[in-house]
Amino acid sequence: MLNKEDIKFEKITAKNLPKETLISPGHRACQGCGEILAMGMVMKAAGPNTIVANATGCMEIVTSPYPETAWRVPWLHVAFENAGAVASGIEAAVQVLHRKNKLKEKPNIIAFAGDGATADIGLQSLSGALERGHDFLYVCLDNEAYMNTGIQRSSSTPYGAMTTTSPPGIKSKGQYTWKKNVAMIAAAHNIPYVATASPAYYLDLMNKVRKALAVDGPAYIQIYSPCPTGWRSKPEQSITLAKLAVQTGAFPLYEVENGRFKITQKTKELKPIKEYLQLQRRFRHLADDDIAYIQERVQDEFERLKALAGLDA
């Protein structure tokens, strides 16, 4: 297994930010879209020697309507639930063709998929790819619902959120299950690198990508991606929301290197979850006791994460 010291990469700082944009402007994402922002950052960190496999979803749709393309790297879209398997095939081909001298330099291989494509329908293909140990990075762009098909709930939708298939009503509070923790599921595969990231902490995000690409074997990064369209939030508040999600503990930032947990964005005390929830109309229907329940559960999960990271344990 790999040691932390073995991971070598050029750290990105505010001074040496890569200038090249590999996803061109003019794509069709909504204003304030967190997914496209995150994806652009990932690509900056990865650089042009990269092959991308993209699952069906918002990011595939907004970047590829023929005859236009926003991609400046080789890019392949196959279907909704198979980015993990498609990337497995790309990786296997790269390894063999390199060994046979038909390919000079090995490219980075990155799979992008939404939370629906990752946490639900594509979980099996992701798990298979992680278990087999393919050397690639899987990025889940987590906007907490199926946005491309019109804001339906996924198993990554947070408790209480209103979506078109988890509507609040007399008999419903909205989404009735707690957010599925795919980063933990990925970590349970004992892969070399797992992280959560947020476009609000862009240097952290990019350096996590660099680390993930430097390890030998699969890496998984889940990136919190505000979606003004689906969350009924203001486009100009996407970064504020991304920050608040971290500061309230709704989406804590951590990494798992060879099984060792580390919280990468330290928060002395979590801000009240209400500050985060009230900026999004998807939570507008929640009553105070619902918010109190969420607050309790977020706190609880955060303590468990701290324990895993060896803090206060």
Partner 1 sequence: MGKRIGTEVSLAVAEAVKMAKVDVVSAYPITPQTHIVEELSQIVADGHLDAAFIPVESEHSAMSAAVGAAATGARVYTATSSQGLALMHEILFIASSLRLPMVMTVANRALSGPISIWNDHADIMAERDIGWVQLFVENGQEALDLTIAAFKIAEDKRVLLPVCVNMDGFILTHMIEPVELPDQELVDKFLPAFEPALKLDPQNPVTMGPVGVPEIYTEAKKQWEQALIHSKPVVEEVLNEWADIFGRKYNLIEKNGPEQAETVFVTMGSLGETLMSAVEELNEQGENVGQVRIRLWRPFPKEEFKQAIQGVKKLIVIDRALSPGAVNGPVASEIKTLLYELDDKPEVVNIIAGLGGRDVTRSDFKAMLEKAQKGELKDDYTIWGVRSHAK
Ligand X SMILES: Cc1ncc(C[n+]2csc(CCOP(=O)(O)OP(=O)(O)O)c2C)c(N)n1
Residues that bind partner 1 (CB under 8 A): 48-51, 53, 60-61, 64-67, 69, 71-79, 81-82, 84-97, 99-100, 102-103, 107, 124-125, 127-129, 131-132
Shortest distance, CB of residue 195 to ligand X, whole angstroms? 19
Crossing angle of helices 83-99/123-132, nearest 10°? 30
157-165, 174-182, 227-235, 255-263 -> range binding ligand SF4 (CB under 6 A)? 227-235
Across the strands, what pairs with 168?
Answer: 173
Backbone φ, ψ for residue 239 (5° rounding): -70, -35
Decide: residue 306, CB within 10 A, 0-12 exposed, 13-18 middle, 19+ buried.
middle
- Which amino acid makes up residue 308? L
Query: What is the DSSP pairing of strand 254-257 with strand 137-142?
Result: unpaired
Applying CB under 6 A, does 58 fall inside the site for ligand SF4?
Answer: yes
Shortest distance, CB of residue 152 to ligand SF4, whole angstroms? 12
> Residue 207 is encoded by which pair of tokens?
């350096």
> Cis omega (within 30 of 0) on the bond before 67?
yes
Sole binder of ligand SF4 in the list 33, 117, 244, 298 (CB under 6 A): 33
Rounded to whole angstroms, how far apart are CA atoms 235 and 17?
24
Sole binder of ligand X in the list 87, 147, 191, 250 (CB under 6 A): 147
Rounded to whole angstroms, how far apart are CA atoms 16 and 13?
5
Applying CB under 6 A, does 224 fall inside the site for ligand X?
Answer: no
Shortest distance, CB of residue 188 to partner 1, whole angstroms? 16
Please report, as residue ranges, which positions from 62 to 101 form the binding site for ligand SF4 (by CB under 6 A): 62
1-9, 43-51, 143-151, 248-256 -> range binding ligand X (CB under 6 A)? 143-151
Rounded to whole angstroms, how far apart are CA atoms 159 and 300?
14
17-25, 30-38, 79-87, 176-184 -> range binding ligand SF4 (CB under 6 A)? 30-38
27-35, 68-76, 246-254, 301-309 -> range binding ligand SF4 (CB under 6 A)? 27-35
Tell me which of partner 1, ligand SF4, ligand X, none is bound by residue 48, counting a contact when its beta carbon lies within the kind-specific cut-off of 5 to 8 angstroms.
partner 1
Going by C-alpha positions, the residue among 261, 205, 274 that lies closest to residue 34 is: 205
The DSSP result for 177-207, as a single string, is SPPP-HHHHHHTTT-SEEEEE-GGGHHHHHH
Sole binder of ligand SF4 in the list 40, 122, 230, 252 (CB under 6 A): 230
Tell me which of ligand SF4, partner 1, ligand X, none is bound by residue 154, counting a contact when its beta carbon lies within the kind-specific cut-off of 5 to 8 angstroms.
ligand X
15-23, 112-120, 186-194, 278-286 -> range binding ligand X (CB under 6 A)? 112-120
Applying CB under 6 A, does 34 fall inside the site for ligand X?
Answer: no
Applying CB under 6 A, does 147 fall inside the site for ligand SF4?
Answer: yes
| Choice between 52 and 286, CB closer to partner 1 | 52
List CB contacts of 248: < 8 A, sequence separation 6 or more. 270, 271, 272, 273, 275, 276, 298
Q: Diameter of the chain by CA atoms?
A: 65
List CB contacts of 305: < 8 A, sequence separation 6 or more. 252, 254, 261, 263
Shortest distance, CB of residue 35 to ligand SF4, whole angstroms? 4
Tell me which of ligand X, ligand SF4, partner 1, none is bound by residue 90, counting a contact when its beta carbon lies within the kind-specific cut-off of 5 to 8 angstroms.
partner 1
